[in-house]
């Protein structure tokens, strides 16, 4: 388990990434999600919240 200092050092993108990973793991075989996770990171632009605040509806539709 991470210390409070380690958690504080994480960026918002890592929190969003981990929350998303947990959601997908709830409905799929974990091994499948882990194997495909690098493509998720790529598709979701590294889960950077500021990027997703500014993304157009057209980009969202393509996902």
pTM of the model: 0.65
pLDDT of residue 62: 85
Domain boundaries, the chain: 10-62
Task: Decide if 27 contacts 57 (C-beta within 8 A).
Answer: no
Residues of the chain with pLDDT under 50: none
Angle in degrees, CA 35, 47, 61, rounded to 5:
90
CA angle at 15 for the pair 49 and 31, rounded to the nearest 5°:
115
């Amino acid at each position: 388990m991470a210390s409070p200092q380690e958690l504080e050092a994480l960026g918002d993108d890592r929190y969003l990434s981990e929350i998303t990973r947990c959601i997908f793991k709830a409905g799929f075989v974990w091994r499948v999600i882990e194997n495909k996770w690098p493509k998720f990171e790529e598709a979701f632009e590294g889960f950077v919240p500021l990027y997703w605040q500014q993304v157009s509806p057209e980009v969202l539709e393509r996902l």
